[in-house]
Amino acid sequence: MLPPLPGLDKFDLAILDLLQRDNTVSQREIAKTVNLSAPAVQRRIQRLRESGVIQAELAILDANRLGRPLLLTVSVRVHDEHPQRTEGMRQRIMAEPAVQQCYMITGETDFLLMISAATMLDFEDIAQRLFGGDDNVQRFQTSVALRCLKTGSYVPLA
């Protein structure tokens, strides 16, 4: 049913599923859970890091508690979505720390961004920096995230 996963066996998947939920668990505990020795787990984790299957290991913070209670979604429509014409905007997006996520998408709009902001004034500043002087931007529509029902980037591995 699923495409084959080159080089990953059930042990790797079990380890990954644990780590993407909580990476503070010790290698010994992982070892007990997946029925391997601690060094075996350690070698597999190292391999998964080097091969890039594990992209990052980090802490998720509560923006509300850090003075950034606003989360906004911005849909951007450009005149010309060719790489050369969007290069500048892509670079500004990459360089802007308040942009948490950005996807190029199909459909009505070309870019979808999730932006963290302290206030609406703060947001207008950010939007101005990102899209202000760019004549390739046709329009952008902002929505406020009233509530976050789910967050993260969990990948189902079952």
**Contact positions with DNA (CB under 7 A) in 19-78:** 26-29, 35-40, 42-44, 46
Q: How far is the CB of 11 from a copy of itself (least distance, A)?
A: 14
Which of DNA, a copy of itself, none interacts with 33 (beta carbon under 5 to 8 A by kind)?
none
Q: What residues make contact with a copy of itself under the rule CB under 8 A?
A: 2-5, 8, 16, 19-24, 51-63, 65-68, 71, 73, 90, 93-94, 97-109, 111-112, 116, 118, 141-158
Q: How far is the CB of 17 from DNA (least distance, A)?
A: 16
Give the integer Cα–Cα distance in Å for 24 and 60.
13
Position 45, amino acid: I
Give the integer Cα–Cα distance in Å for 139 and 48.
41
Which of a copy of itself, DNA, none interacts with 62 (beta carbon under 5 to 8 A by kind)?
a copy of itself
In the block, tokens 């380890």 appear at: 15
Q: Does 80 bind DNA (CB under 7 A)?
A: no
Binding pattern to DNA, positions 100-129, x when CB under 7 A? ------------------------------
Residue 54, C-beta contacts closer than 8 angstroms, at least 6 positions apart: 16, 19, 45, 48
- Give the residue from 133, 61, 143, 147 showing the smallest Cα distance to 109: 143
* Contact present, 128 and 120 (Cβ < 8 Å): no
* Contact present, 72 and 142 (Cβ < 8 Å): yes
Considering beta carbons, is residue 43 or 79 the nearer one to DNA?
43
